[in-house]
């Protein structure tokens, strides 16, 4: 995991790859989908504070590489989550 990328994610989105990895490993996933803008990637959809967060990833035989994470209104509506304001 890239330290610099993790720090930027913490500053901008209030999330860390460690938190995201823990959620994924413990099965707290709303869904998995193909990334519509990157044919070689998929996305995890997570529920964080009742808001959908999309986590694009690349999967190989040996690992799952998390690219970034961002909130998604589209998936929040799709999974009928309540937006926190």
Q: Which H or E element spans position 66? A: strand 64-66
Q: Rounded CA gap, 1 and 66, in Å?
A: 8
The model's pLDDT over 15-72, given as tens digits with 9 standing for 90+, comes to 999 999 999 999 999 999 999 899 999 999 999 999 999 999 999 999 999 999 999 9
Residue-range domain boundaries for the chain: 3-78
Q: Rounded CA gap, 76 and 84, in Å?
A: 10
Q: Rounded CA gap, 39 and 20, in Å?
A: 22
Contact 24, 46 (CB under 8 A): yes
Give 85's pLDDT tier (boundaries 50, 70, 90): low
Q: Where are the alpha helices (DSSP H) in the chain?
A: 3-13, 17-25, 73-78
């Amino acid at each position: 995991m890239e330290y610099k990328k993790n720090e930027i994610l913490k500053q901008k989105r209030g999330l860390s790859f460690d938190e995201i990895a823990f959620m994924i490993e413990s099965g707290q996933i709303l869904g998995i989908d193909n990334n519509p803008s990157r044919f070689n990637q998929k996305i995890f959809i997570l529920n964080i504070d009742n808001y959908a967060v999309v986590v694009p990833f690349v999967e190989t035989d040996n690992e799952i590489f998390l690219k970034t994470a961002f909130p998604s209104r589209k998936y929040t509506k799709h999974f009928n989550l309540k937006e926190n304001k």
